[in-house]
Structure 1
Amino acid sequence: MIRPLHQSRRQRLPALAGGLVVLLVVAGFVGVALAALLAGRLSGGLLSAFADPVVRSVLSFTLWQAFLSTILSVGLALAVASALARQPDFPGRIWLIRLMAVPMGLPVLIGALGLIGIFGRSGIVNDVLTELGLAQPISIYGLTGILIAHVFFNLPLATRLMLSALERVPAEYWRMSASLGFSPLSTFRFIEWPVLARVIPGAAGLVFMLCVTSFTLVLIFGGGPAATTIEVAIYQALRFDFNPERAVSLALLQITVTGMILAGLSLLPAASDTGLTSGRRFPRFDGRRPLVRLADGLLLLLAALFLILPLGQVVVSGLQADLARLVSQAAFQQAALTSLGVALAAGLIATLLAYGVIAARAEIATTRAQNTGNRVFSLALASISSLVLLVPTSVLATGWFLALRPRGEIASFAPFVVTGINALMALPFAVRVLEPAFREHRARTGRLAESLGLSVAQRLRRVDWPVLKRPLLTALAFAMALSLGDLGAVALFGSENISTLPALIYARMGSYRSTDADGLALILGVICLVLALIGAPGTRETTNNRRERPDAR
C-alpha cells in the first residue's frame, strides 16, 4: 500500500520538528555562553590575549605539549598496532585489545591517581630506579607527567584505530608478501604503511585536539606557571585571580585555536574504529621468525603493563582505604547523590538530543526533494555534535559563570549549568552509539512501517522501541559515565556551589589525604564499571550486527 503524500509529510513533521527543537536548544545554550563572553569585548579581547606575554606563554605550552603528546602516542601506537597485527596468536591478545578500550571510558581522575601511584615519587618505577642506583627519580609533575598521562589515555585510542585499518587488509596481500619472501621491513613498507598512512593523519589530529583541550590531567600534573594550558589558565583566572577579562581573552583564544584545528581536521581523512578489533584472525607470515616474535612479545608485554599497572594501583590503593568510613560520611553521600543526579539528567538529555538529531537527519535523507534548505538543516544538525570541540567545556562554563555572576545566582543554577555542559559533552558519543543502529533498523523496517500506516506513537512503541532500546540504554550508560567522571565544569563553579565525586576526590588530593582520594576513586570506578556493564548488551548487539553486515559503517 502506497501512503498518501499528506500522510507521509505528517509522519516526517514530528522528526523534523524534533530536530529543530534540538538545534534551537543547543544553539541557545551555547549562544548564551558566547554572548556573555563577547559582551562589550569584541574589540580587544583576542588582540589583548596575544599582546599578553603570559597568555602567549600559555598558548606556546599548550601547543607544544599537545605536539609532543601526539608524536609519542601515535608513534608508540604504530609499533603496538603493527605487533598486534603480526601476532594473531599472542597469548591474551583479545584481552589486551579489550583492555585498550578501558582508558577511553575511564574517568580521568582515576587514571591520574593510578599514574601517580606508579610513576610518583614513591611509585613502583621510581623505587626500581632507586634500586638501580639512579639518584634523580622521575618527576610525575610538570611536562613529563602530562606527557605520560596523555600517552596513557591516547595510546589505546590510536592503537585501535590503526589496528582496525590493518585488519581490513585483504588476506591475499599477506599471502603474496610471504610468497615473495618479504622481510618484516618490506612488509611494513609495501603493505602496512600505505594503509596506515591513510589513518595516521586523522588519528594524530584527533589526539592533538584531545591534548589541546585537556583540562583535568594538566590541572593535576601541571598547573604551575611553566606547565599551564589555555583551559587550566581560564580556570585559574576565574577561581584564583578572579580576572574575568583575562578569562574572556583566554576563552576567545581557545575558541580560535580549536576552530583552526577543527578546520584542519576537516581536510584530513577520517580515522574510525569499525569494531573489528576484538581478536579477528588472519594469515600473517612475517611474524613467525623467532626474533620478530620475541621483539613483538616484549613490546606487547610492556604496553600491557603500562595500561594494567595504573589500573591495578587504583584497586590496591583503594582497598587499603577505610571504604566503610568514606561511604558513611555526609560529604560522600551528598557528592554521590549530586553526581548520580547530574549524570542521570545529563545522560537522558544527551540521549534524547542524539535521538532527535539522528531521526531528523534520517527523515531529511529519505526526502526526495533535496533542496538547499534540507541540506543546510542536515548540515546544521550534523555540526551540533562538534560544538563541544569548537566551544570546549571550560569556555562554556566561563560564559555561563559570567552570565550568572551579575545576578548573584551562581550557586542555585550551578547544578543545571553543569548538567547542560555534561549533556553537550556526551552528545557526540551518544550520536556515535545510536546512529549505526538507527540507520540499520530504519533500513529494515522503514518501508514496512510506512505501508502499515502506523502513527508516530505506534511506530515508536511497536517498531522502534523493541529494537532500539538496547542502543538507547548503551548511549545513556556511556553519557552517564562521562558525566560522572567530569571535573571541568564543576571545578569552575567550585565545591561550595556544587559537590560531585570528582570534585571531592580532587579536594582530598589537594589536602594531602591521598588514601581517602584512592578509596573514593575506587568507588567512582566501580560505579562507572556498573554503567559500562549495563550498556554492554547494546554494544555487543551493535558489534554483532556490524560483523554480520561487512558493509555497515
Structure 2
Amino acid sequence: MARRVFAISLWPGLIAAALVALLSLGTLAAVALRAESFSALNRFDWLAVRFTLVQAALSAALSVGFAIPAARALARRRFRGRTLLVTLLGAPFILPTIVAILGLTAVFGRSGAVSVLLGWAGFEPISIYGFHGVVLAHVFFNLPLATRLLLQGWGTIPAERFRLAAALQFGPRDLFRHIEIPMLREIVPGALTVIFLICTTSFAVALTFGGGPRATTVELAIYEAFRYDFNLGKASLLALIQVLICVAAALVSLRFGVPQIGQVGLDRTVQRFDAAGIGTRSADAFWMALVSLFLLAPLVAIALRGATGLADLPAPVWEAALRSLLTALGSAALAIVLSLTLALSALRWRWLEGVGMTAIAASPLVMGTGLYIMLFAVTDPANWALLITALVNAAMSLPFILRALGPALATAERDYGRLADSLGMTGRTRLRFVLLPRLGAPLGFSAGLAAALSMGDLGVITLFARPDSATLPLQIYRLMGSYRMDQAMGAALLLLGLSLALFYIFDLWGRRRA
C-alpha cells in the first residue's frame, strides 16, 4: 500500500535529487573538465593548501579544548539564566559571518577594546589580521557548537554513575578520569572532524582576516584566481583540491558522526556530588564567564556602534538589504521544496536522502565556479547572480534541513500511515491532511534556518555580483574596504536584525502550526 500511496511523490523527489546532484557533482565535473595539470599550481598555491589544513586543525582543537571545561561547568551547575545561556550558545550558528567579523574587529582590532586595555597597561595594540585572526574567528563560531555537542554528551551519562562515584568517594579528578573521559572519547572525535570540515570551507573569514601568501585558504585562492586573474583552469584545479579535502573530512565526520555511548539509566535527576567544593565552583564560574564574555562582547559592540550608524546608511545599503531579503526568502522556499520532496521519496528509497546529504562535502565556491563555467558559454553569469546565490544557499542548507524533516516525517508516517491507507488517503490528500500538520515545527525551524543562513551568506555572490547587484553582506564588506566603519557597523546591525527576525518569524509560525 505504501508504494501506491507515494507513487505521486516519487517523481518530484527524483527531480530534486537530480538538481542536487547537478549542483554538487555536476559542477564538480565541469570544474574537473576545465582543470589543468598540477604543474599549473605555484608554491603559493600549495602554501594555501597547507594553511587551510593547519588553521582548520588548530581551530578545531582550540574550539573543542575550550569547550570541554565550559560544557563540564554547564553540566554540573544549575543557576538562574542557565537555559538562556545555553540558548545563546546556538546564536553564532545563524549569526551572519560578516556581522561576527565586525564585532570581533571592534573588540580585538587595533582600535578595539582589548587593544585599548593593552595600551593602558603599556603594551602595543594587537592586530587581528593574519593567521591568528582567522583562527580567532573560527573559534568564535565553533566554540558554541562544540560546547553544545559536549553538553549533550554529558547529558547521556546516567545519574546512577554519579551516585556510585559519590558512594565510592570519588573526587573531581577520579570522576573525570573514570566517568567523563570515556564519554569524551566518543564525542570529541566527531566534534573535531565536524568543526574541521566547517573551517576548511570558510570563505568570508579568510577574505576579511586573511590574505597574503601566509594567510590564504584554498577557498580564498579560488576566489583570487577567479576574480582577479580570471584563470578558470587554476581556479578549477584549486576547486578539485578543495573538494578532496572536504570529502576526506566528510568521510571522517560520518565515521564519528553518531556517537554510541551505550549508557542506560533510570532517568533520575542528575546530582553532581563533586560540585560543592570552592575550587570547582571557582573553576566553573571562570569558564562560564570567559565563554560568555568571548561570545557576547562582539555582539554588544555591534549593537552599541551600529545604533549610531544605522540612521546614516546610504541608499545602496537599503537596496542591498532588499535584494538580500528576497534572495533569502527564495532560498528558504527552494530549500523547503527540495528537502520535503527528497524526504517524502526517501520513505520508499532511502538513498535519495543520501543524495541530499552530498552537499555537506561540497564547497559553495566550487559550486559557484562550476555554475559559472556552465553558464559562461551561453549567457552572462552576472545576470543570474541572485538566482545562483539562492540556489547554492538552498543546496548548502539541505543537510541540516533533512536532519530535521526526515525523522519527523518518518515518525508521522509510522504512526498514521496505516490509518491513512485504510481511508484511501493518497498523494496530495495524504500530504495535506496527515503529514504536513505534523511537520509544522520542523518546517518552521528549517525555513528560518535556511533564510537566516542565506541572508548572511558572503560567498557565491562575490563571484557574480556587479556593483549594482550586491547583497547586504557584500555591501558591508565594501564599506569595510573603504574604511566607512560607522556605516558598516550600522549595516551589520541591520543585517543581524533581519537575520534573527527571519529565523524567529518562521520558527514561531512553525511552532504555532505544530
TM-score (norm 2): 0.94
2:263 maps to none
Structure 1 residues 54 and 386: CA distance shift in structure 2, 3 A: farther
For residue 29 of structure 1, what is the aligned residue in structure 2? 23
Q: AA paired with 1:447?
A: R
1:343–1:419 CA contact under 8 A, matched in 2 = yes
Q: Is the 8 A contact 1:203 1:271 kept in 2?
A: no
1:83 pairs with one of 64, 67, 73: 73
Task: Provide, for residues 399-445 of structure 1, a one-character-per-residue CA deviation record: whole Å limited to 9, x for no partner.
Answer: 11222233351221222211211110111122122223222222221
Name 2:264's counterpart in structure 1.
none
Which stretch of structure 1 is more off in the superposition, 411-420 or 211-220? Answer: 411-420
Contact persistence 2:101–2:137 (CA under 8 A): yes
| Other-structure match for 1:74 | 64
1:125 and 2:114 matched: yes
Give the secondary-structure state (helix, strand or coil) at the position aligned to 1:197: helix
Deviates more, 1:71-80 or 1:256-265: 256-265
Counterpart mapping for 1:337-376 below 5 A:
337-364=322-349
In 1: Cα distance, 2:419 partner to 2:85 partner: 43
Residue aligning to 1:214: 202
In structure 2, the residue matched to 1:548 is none
**Which structure 2 segments of 5+ residues have no match?**
261-267
- Counterpart of 2:265 in structure 1 is none
Spell out, residue by residue over 1:140-187, the C-alpha distance to the aligned partner (whole angstroms, 9 max, x if none): 111111111111100000110011010111111111111111111111
Is the contact between residue 161 and residue 271 of structure 1 (CA under 8 Å) also seen in structure 2? no
The CA distance in 1 between the partners of 2:25 and 2:409, in whole Å, is: 29
**1:94-132 deviation line (CA, Å, top 9, x unaligned):** 221111010011111111111000001111111111212
Of 474, 490, 508 in structure 1, the residue corresponding to residue 461 of structure 2 is 490
Give % identity.
Answer: 40
Q: Does 1:101 align with 2:95?
A: no
Aligned-partner Cα distance in 2 for 1:438–1:204: 30
| Alignment check: 8 A CA contact 1:113 1:518 kept | yes
Aligned amino acid, residue 344 of structure 1 = L
**Aligned residues between the structures:** 507
For 1:55, give the aligned amino acid.
D
Alignment equivalent of 2:32, drawn from 10, 35, 38: 38
2:4 is the alignment partner of 1:14: no
The change in CA–CA distance for 1:298 and 1:31 in structure 2 (over 3 A counts) is closer
Query: How many Å separate the matches in 2 of 1:60 and 1:93?
Result: 40
For residues 496 and 33 of structure 1, what CA distance do their matches in structure 2 show? 26
Moved more, 418-427 or 13-22: 13-22
What amino acid sits opposite 1:398 in the alignment?
T
User: Which residue in 2 is equivalent to 1:502?
Assistant: 473
CA contact (8 A) 2:451 2:503 kept: no
Tell me the equivalent position of 1:550.
none
Question: 2:470, 2:91 → 1: CA distance?
Answer: 26
Residue 257 of structure 1 aligns with which residue?
245
Q: CA RMSD in A?
A: 2.1
Per-residue CA deviations over 1:165-213 (Å, capped at 9, x if unaligned) read 1011111111111111111111111011111110100000000011111
Distance of 2:288 and 2:269 partners within structure 1? 17
User: Corresponding residue for 2:282?
Assistant: 294
**Stretch deviating more after TM superposition (18-27 or 484-493):** 18-27
Identify the residue that residue 166 of structure 2 maps to in structure 1. Answer: 178
Q: Secondary structure of the residue that 1:198 maps to in structure 2?
A: helix
For residue 549 of structure 1, what is the aligned residue in structure 2? Answer: none
Q: In the aligned structure 1, how far is the partner of 2:398 from the partner of 2:194?
A: 17
Alpha-carbon distance in 2 for matches of 1:539, 1:71:
36
Which residue type is aligned with residue 33 of structure 1?
T
- Contact kept, 8 Å, 2:448 with 2:506, in 1: the verdict is yes
Give the SS at the match of 2:359. Answer: helix
Following superposition, the deviation at residue 531 of structure 1 comes to 1.6
Q: Partners of 1:231 and 1:269 in 2: how far apart?
A: 25
Q: Per-residue CA shift, 1:78-97, capped at 9, x if unaligned?
A: 1111111122x244222211
What is the deviation of 1:325?
Answer: 3.8
Deviation, 1:12, is 2.0
State the shift of 1:269 in Å: 4.5
Give 1:319 shift.
0.4
1:263 to partner: Cα distance: 2.3
Matched, 1:456 2:433: no
State the 1:390 CA deviation.
2.3
Deviation at 1:13, TM superposition (A): 0.9
Relative to structure 2, which stretch is displaced further, 97-106 or 468-477? 468-477
Aligned residue in 1 for 2:219: 231
After superposing on structure 2, the runs of 4+ consecutive aligned residues of structure 1 that deviate more than 4 Å are 538-542
In 1, Cα distance between equivalents of 2:118 and 2:358: 45
State the match for 1:372 in structure 2: none
User: Which residue of 244, 255, 258 corresponds with 2:232?
Assistant: 244
CA contact (8 A) 1:495 1:503 kept: no
CA pair 504-495 structure 1, distance change in 2 beyond 3 A: farther
| 1:325-373 deviations in Å (ceiling 9; x for gaps) | 42xx431232122111211111111111111111111234xxxxxxxxx
Residues of 2 paired with 1:52 and 1:488: CA distance?
24
Name the aligned partner's letter for residue 20 of structure 1.
L
Which residue of structure 1 lines up, in the alignment, with residue 380 of structure 2? Answer: 409
- Report the 3-state secondary structure (helix = DSSP H, G, I; strand = E; otherwise coil) of the residue aligned with 1:363: coil
1:48 corresponds to which residue?
39
- Which residue matches 1:335? 320
Task: Describe the shift of the 1:540–1:234 C-alpha distance in structure 2 as closer, same or farther (beyond 3 A).
Answer: same
Contact 2:64 2:143 in 1 (8 A): yes
Counterpart CA distance in 2 for 1:254 and 1:144 is 22
Change (3 A) 1:110 1:251: same
Look up the equivalent residue of 2:23 and give its one-letter code: F
Query: 1:9-38 deviations in whole A, cap 9, x for unaligned?
Result: 331212222221111121233444223312
**TM-score of the two chains, using structure 1 as the length reference:** 0.88
Q: Secondary structure at the match of 2:271?
A: coil
Q: Which piece of structure 1 moves more, 25-34 or 182-191?
A: 25-34
Question: Is contact 1:218–1:229 with CA below 8 Å preserved after alignment?
Answer: yes
**Which residues in structure 2 correspond to 1:510-525 (within 5 Å)?**
510-525=481-496
User: Match for 1:236: what amino acid?
Assistant: E
**2:348 alignment partner, SS class:** helix
8 Å CA contact retained: 2:3, 2:348: no
CA contact (8 A) 2:159 2:270 kept: yes
Matched, 1:324 2:311: yes
Q: CA deviation at 1:540?
A: 6.3
Partner of 1:474: 445
Structure 1 unmatched ranges of 5 or more? 273-279, 365-377, 546-553
